[in-house]
């Protein structure tokens, strides 16, 4: 009798394992609008910060409203537009990205001049840092924040 129970449990485990493994590899749906506020330190000016005048000795410490609108997704890959607004300024910038890690909870994405790196915290919160240096904007920026998805 014990052999029969053990065999049936083993068969059930072998049948269930692929379904469990498949679920672990599925990319979470990240489409939608994610809203928060930037917490930025900047040297230079330009890009999303045309009025900024930070220097290496005295960097600008700034905040703006942030909307990350993920408009499309195919598996782990996604794309959309970020909008920064505040202090009488508003800018939009496209980006592309990909979910990372064995559980697809991390992500990286790139816009026209910088990179984002972070993780999905729960189903409706992203925490990340954005970085860029030099380039056409001639500015150096680091901005870490958390955004929440609107439903």
Q: Measured between alpha carbons, how far is residue 107 from residues 25, 33, 80 in Å?
A: 14, 16, 14
From CA 89, how far away is CA 24, in angstroms rounded?
A: 42
From CA 99, how far away is CA 101, in angstroms rounded?
A: 7
Quote the pLDDT of residue 40. Answer: 92
Quote the pLDDT of residue 23. Answer: 47
End-to-end CA distance of the chain, in Å?
53
Q: For residue range 113-135, what is the model confidence (pLDDT) as tens digits?
A: 899 999 999 889 999 999 998 87
Output the CA angle 114-121-118, nearest 5 degrees: 20
If you average pLDDT over residues 97-119, what whole number do you get?
94
Q: For residue range 34-52, what is the model confidence (pLDDT) as tens digits?
A: 999 999 999 988 677 777 8
């Amino acid at each position: 009798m014990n052999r029969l129970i053990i065999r049936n449990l083993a068969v059930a485990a072998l049948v269930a394992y692929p379904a469990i493994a498949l679920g672990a590899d599925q990319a979470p749906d990240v489409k939608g609008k994610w809203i928060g506020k930037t917490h930025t330190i900047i040297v230079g000016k330009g890009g999303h910060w045309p009025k900024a005048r930070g220097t290496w000795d005295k960097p600008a410490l700034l905040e703006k409203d942030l909307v990350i609108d993920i408009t499309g997704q195919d598996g782990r890959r996604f794309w959309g537009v970020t909008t920064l607004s505040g202090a009488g300024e508003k800018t939009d910038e496209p980006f592309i990205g990909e979910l990372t890690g064995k559980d697809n909870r991390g992500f990286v994405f790139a816009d026209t001049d910088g990179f984002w790196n972070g993780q999905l915290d729960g189903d409706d919160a992203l925490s990340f840092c954005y970085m860029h240096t030099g380039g056409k904007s001639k500015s150096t920026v680091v901005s870490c924040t958390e955004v929440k998805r609107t439903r």
